[in-house]
Structure 1
Amino acid sequence: MFKKLDKLIIKSFIGPFMAVFFITLLVLVMQFFWLYIDDFVGKGLSAGVIFKFIWYQSAVLIPLALPLAVLLSSLMTFGNLGETFELVAIKSAGISLLRFMRPLFLLSIVISVLAFLFSNYVIPVANLKSYTILSDIVKAKPAFDLREGVFYDKIPNFAIKIGKKEENDSIIRDVIVFENDNGLQDNFIVAKSGVMRTSEDKRYLEFFLRDGWRYQERADRYGSNQTEYIRLGFKEYKKILDLSTFQISWTSDSSGSSNQRMLTMRQLTHSIDSLGIEYKRIQQQMGNDIYLYLPFMQTRDSIATWQKRRDSLGKKDTVLYASFDAYIPDSAAKPVYDRAISQVNSLRSGLEATAINLKERGKEWRKHKIEWHRKIVLSLACLVLFMIGAPLGAIIRKGGLGSPLIFSIVFFMVFYFTTTTGEKFAKEGALSPFAGMWLATFVLTPIGIFLTYKAMRDSQLFNKEFYSRIVRKLRKKE
């Protein structure tokens, strides 16, 4: 049952948490757009498409924004209470720091559970949607942009040059249209003026040209090298160009559904089991390839037994294999050696291909395991960073955004870079997926326990005056 003290601490936490969460999410989304700004500019994207992408990408970045929001808001909350001496009053009333932290600790557990459910059921769908939209935008061509005095060659099989465009961009002058239908014929259209406009559905570009000439090169229909050249003068001429290649082709969501980031934990578990079975099958195939190319390996036990019997007169217990040359006549030695070298080279090529396949399967298995652990690690990070932020705020006793923001950035960078480094090592196989993804938790949890221990005993760990007194005492001794 909540008491007034619990309501006080929760109300003090909710405001900074919501503000920091949305600010962090905005910064992460802007950082993502900064990376792909070149792929978005100049492609005629509608506002609906951009907002749809922002919506899905924001959902993808929520698990990364939550830990930082919990860290900074808990640090600000306890820092403000410490700065106004409310923590001192609470402790003087006989209430321990752990009891005071309990409501926010329970709230952090709730946030971690909600973050896990969000990561498991919503993030895969949001990842799939945002990835599909982003890939279609990246593949799309820039929007049609015809400039004065420059040949425009983005339309397949055409190059267009316009000497001058009027203010309304529809009346054009000194027009040159170069057309290459099949690589063998070159056609030109030269006109003094005309009107340019696009169709209502934006699929076609229409030229209504005046006072010009059309130069056409026509090849012989029988396939000979003879061609004929045609020059046609016109007062009015209409030319229609297809602009369908400039429209974004939206692919279905199912095209990327097999990626590990688009799967739930249950689907990841099934994929991990399947990849493990496939990995063992490839390993067994490598052994079978050796027996296929080297048949004598199947009878190596009988050879060893025969050799042991042969050496029994000398009362030797060890197995001695006879020299390979002892069984081959000199006349057959070279063909046998050549055949043996050919078989070894074939075996090596086969094993190298199988080893590459085995390496790729192992890498894919590790990626799925990493994604499986990521869903738990990022959710649990909210609780781990709260264990750092709350006692740290009680120790530094500074509110606002100054000191709390600096400490939050430092610890979040430690969390982020440790997680990224562990993930990289896990992908390369230097660490297991479990050790790589949980590396940040293993590093930060002892720090949180240490800070909680210090905060419970009113530590002077981050008190500048405490260290100044130590320095003054050392100077006096000197």
Structure 2
Amino acid sequence: MNLGIKKLDKLILKSFMGPYVVTFFIVLFVFLMQFFWLYMDDLIGKGLSLQLILELMIYMSATLVPMAMPLGILLASIMTFGALGENYELVAIKSSGISLFRFLRPLTLFIIGVVIGMFLFSNYIIPKANLKAYSLLYDMRNKKPTMSIKPGVFNRGLGNFVIRIGSKSEDGSTISDVLIYDHSKGGGNNNVVAAEKGKMYLSNDKRFLVFELNNGWRYEFKKDSEGQYEQQRMFFKKWNKVIDVSSFGFSRTREDLFKSSEEMQDIAMLNKSVDSTYKLIGKDLRELKKSTGYYISLYKKDGDLKDLDAKINAAMKTDKPVYSKDLISLFDREQRNDISGKVVNNAQSIQRYLSINATNNEINYTKLNQYNMQWHKKFTYAFACLVLFLIGAPMGAIIRKGGLGLPMVISILFFVVYFILSSTGEKLAKQGKMPALEGMWLATVCLMPIAIIILVQARNDSPVFKKEAYINLWRKIKGIFVKEQAQLK
């Protein structure tokens, strides 16, 4: 019997691994294409090499694994158990006395291993992949468009120069009917070069675009002593124009500038960042107490108010009670004006300091919230694999349909629910309307009871997705109405 069960475990694992690998890479490819569709406008037309595009694809593929893995597991589990149910293999297994829970055990252990691996991947690989991917994407998005000069078009992508060429030979360097508008000095089209023909090429270091022009004219408009424009025209047989195009080259920004972001940190670094932020908040609070305590003092040691203590003590020896509102009356008009001015200045200083402190406090708490969200995200993505498996496996046993038809529809439906709940919780946590713990775990906590219900229904051979069950239900309802109509007659 043990040998039979071991063979059964191997059969289940073998049946699951094929759809799992295929669906995972399909889902990953779909998410990757969605990413490129999102940033297509920022990447097209910049002359980026195939090597850079492939490098970005590799890094982004790693960052998209936490999203693709749960959906791949959900779809593969529904397909696997749906195919087993469609071929009546589940019926044969249950009839031999093996329960559904025992049947799920090998895959459950495998998915637990996936969950552990997913957590380690999210903690150690994802931060490095994020650092590489987003720093590379930043440089690619900020690269200037390629300087492809098209014939018959005014090319405005060369900084202060607008260039039009009539035609270009097949070698790509010989040009004719050339117009160059130089706007580097401002003033509109006041500096123009026109030539019959010439050559256009890049320097050896790719930093300069060189025009060797022949048989042309230079037109320049200048102001005379009376402020009127006069035109200067100069003919040339040969004239060279060099344009700096070094800014069109691709340059990499130092990755150290991106390391402070929470997406580039593992759990140890996030814990350190959380502790540092708490210390910074405490320091700001201590500075606030110290500074406000200083501002609300009356500066009793100022030269004009050095007799304040003596006057207050003298007033307190009288039988009449002295209230704070009468304290100002102890001074003459000039001193009262002095005190009033100092009180107003102190109040304004406190207000400004409180405003600055409130802004700093808001920034610190926002950072703290982001660190906590990222900390929980490393666990929620991993745990989602288990939850969606517990939904997909029994759902496949209930629907008893394999392939990519109904399983695909149900998988997308559940994943959309998961994605909406996850996005809503993350948005609420980001806005501070919900703690990071509750916001990041909202989707998995809401789906876990659904997984348990579906698991129980599958164990009891629920007829939810059986056509015959609904036909029989309709017949019963129809029979009730027929009996009532017969009784009324």
Query: 184-193 vs 1-10, which deviates more?
Result: 184-193
| Residue aligning to 2:304 | none
| Residue aligning to 2:289 | 287
SS at 2:139 equivalent: helix
| Residue aligning to 2:196 | 192
| Residue aligning to 2:215 | 211
Alpha-carbon distance between aligned partners in 1 of 2:292 and 2:92, rounded to the nearest angstrom: 78
Deviation sequence 1:266-302 (CA, Å, 0-9, x none)? 11111111111112222333333321221279xxxxx
- Contact kept, 8 Å, 2:328 with 2:336, in 1: the verdict is no
Instruction: Label 1:460 to 1:333 Cα distance change in 2 as closer, same or farther (>3 A).
Output: farther
Letter in 1 for 2:401: K
Which one of 390, 393, 396 corresponds to residue 396 of structure 2? Answer: 393
Alpha-carbon distance between aligned partners in 2 of 1:40 and 1:327, rounded to the nearest angstrom: 70
| Residue aligning to 1:54 | 57
Following TM superposition, by how much is the alpha carbon of 1:413 offset from its aligned partner in structure 2, in angstroms? 1.1
Following TM superposition, by how much is the alpha carbon of 1:180 offset from its aligned partner in structure 2, in angstroms? 4.3
Letter in 2 for 1:37: M
Deviation sequence 1:79-127 (CA, Å, 0-9, x none)? 1111111111111111110000000000000111111111111111111
Alignment of 1:87-126 (within 5 A): 87-126=90-129
Following TM superposition, by how much is the alpha carbon of 1:184 offset from its aligned partner in structure 2, in angstroms? 7.8
Alignment of 1:398-437 (within 5 A): 398-437=401-440
Alignment of 1:123-138 (within 5 A): 123-138=126-141
Letter in 2 for 1:52: E
Following TM superposition, by how much is the alpha carbon of 1:365 offset from its aligned partner in structure 2, in angstroms? 0.8
Alpha-carbon distance between aligned partners in 2 of 1:388 and 1:382, rounded to the nearest angstrom: 10
SS at 1:153 equivalent: strand
Following TM superposition, by how much is the alpha carbon of 1:207 offset from its aligned partner in structure 2, in angstroms? 1.3
- Contact kept, 8 Å, 2:176 with 2:196, in 1: the verdict is yes
SS at 2:343 equivalent: helix
Letter in 2 for 1:58: S
Instruction: Label 1:89 to 1:210 Cα distance change in 2 as closer, same or farther (>3 A).
Output: same
- TM-score normalised per structure 2: 0.87
- Whether 2:4 is the aligned partner of 1:15: answer no
Letter in 2 for 1:472: R
Alpha-carbon distance between aligned partners in 2 of 1:238 and 1:325, rounded to the nearest angstrom: 86
Residue identity (%): 43
Runs of 5+ consecutive residues of structure 2 not aligned to the other structure: 300-311, 482-489
Alpha-carbon distance between aligned partners in 1 of 2:93 and 2:371, rounded to the nearest angstrom: 48
Following TM superposition, by how much is the alpha carbon of 1:370 offset from its aligned partner in structure 2, in angstroms? 0.7
Letter in 2 for 1:328: S
Alpha-carbon distance between aligned partners in 2 of 1:321 and 1:10, rounded to the nearest angstrom: 89
| Residue aligning to 1:265 | 267
Alpha-carbon distance between aligned partners in 1 of 2:276 and 2:448, rounded to the nearest angstrom: 34
Would you identify which runs of 4 or more consecutive aligned residues in structure 1 move more than 6 Å? 217-220, 224-229
Letter in 2 for 1:204: F
- Whether 2:332 is the aligned partner of 1:328: answer no
Deviation sequence 1:46-75 (CA, Å, 0-9, x none)? 111101110111011111111011111111
Alignment of 1:245-260 (within 5 A): 245-260=247-262
Following TM superposition, by how much is the alpha carbon of 1:217 offset from its aligned partner in structure 2, in angstroms? 6.5
Letter in 1 for 2:137: L
- Whether 2:165 is the aligned partner of 1:162: answer yes
| Residue aligning to 1:232 | 234
Letter in 2 for 1:390: A
| Residue aligning to 1:241 | 243
| Residue aligning to 2:463 | 460
- Contact kept, 8 Å, 2:196 with 2:214, in 1: the verdict is yes
Instruction: Label 1:424 to 1:321 Cα distance change in 2 as closer, same or farther (>3 A).
Output: farther
Alpha-carbon distance between aligned partners in 2 of 1:94 and 1:404, rounded to the nearest angstrom: 27
Following TM superposition, by how much is the alpha carbon of 1:381 offset from its aligned partner in structure 2, in angstroms? 0.9
Alpha-carbon distance between aligned partners in 2 of 1:53 and 1:321, rounded to the nearest angstrom: 76
Runs of 5+ consecutive residues of structure 1 not aligned to the other structure: 298-305, 314-319
Alpha-carbon distance between aligned partners in 1 of 2:239 and 2:192, rounded to the nearest angstrom: 13
Query: 186-195 vs 72-81, which deviates more?
Result: 186-195
Deviation sequence 1:423-446 (CA, Å, 0-9, x none)? 111111111111111111110111
Letter in 1 for 2:323: A
Instruction: Label 1:435 to 1:183 Cα distance change in 2 as closer, same or farther (>3 A).
Output: same
Alpha-carbon distance between aligned partners in 1 of 2:17 and 2:171, rounded to the nearest angstrom: 55
SS at 1:122 equivalent: helix
Letter in 2 for 1:19: V
- Contact kept, 8 Å, 2:165 with 2:178, in 1: the verdict is yes
- Contact kept, 8 Å, 2:193 with 2:218, in 1: the verdict is yes
Letter in 1 for 2:254: S
| Residue aligning to 2:303 | none
| Residue aligning to 1:449 | 452
Alpha-carbon distance between aligned partners in 2 of 1:296 and 1:399, rounded to the nearest angstrom: 83
Alpha-carbon distance between aligned partners in 1 of 2:81 and 2:105, rounded to the nearest angstrom: 13
Which one of 360, 374, 377 corresponds to residue 363 of structure 2? Answer: 360
Which one of 141, 146, 152 corresponds to residue 143 of structure 1? Answer: 146
| Residue aligning to 1:316 | none
Structural RMSD (CA): 3.0
Following TM superposition, by how much is the alpha carbon of 1:382 offset from its aligned partner in structure 2, in angstroms? 0.8
Alpha-carbon distance between aligned partners in 2 of 1:325 and 1:475, rounded to the nearest angstrom: 91
Alpha-carbon distance between aligned partners in 2 of 1:265 and 1:247, rounded to the nearest angstrom: 37
- Whether 2:146 is the aligned partner of 1:153: answer no
Query: 367-376 vs 210-219, which deviates more?
Result: 210-219
Alpha-carbon distance between aligned partners in 1 of 2:474 and 2:159, rounded to the nearest angstrom: 76
Alpha-carbon distance between aligned partners in 2 of 1:25 and 1:476, rounded to the nearest angstrom: 51
Alpha-carbon distance between aligned partners in 2 of 1:465 and 1:169, rounded to the nearest angstrom: 72
Deviation sequence 1:279-331 (CA, Å, 0-9, x none)? 2222333333321221279xxxxxxxx9xxx9xx9xxxxxx993524543583
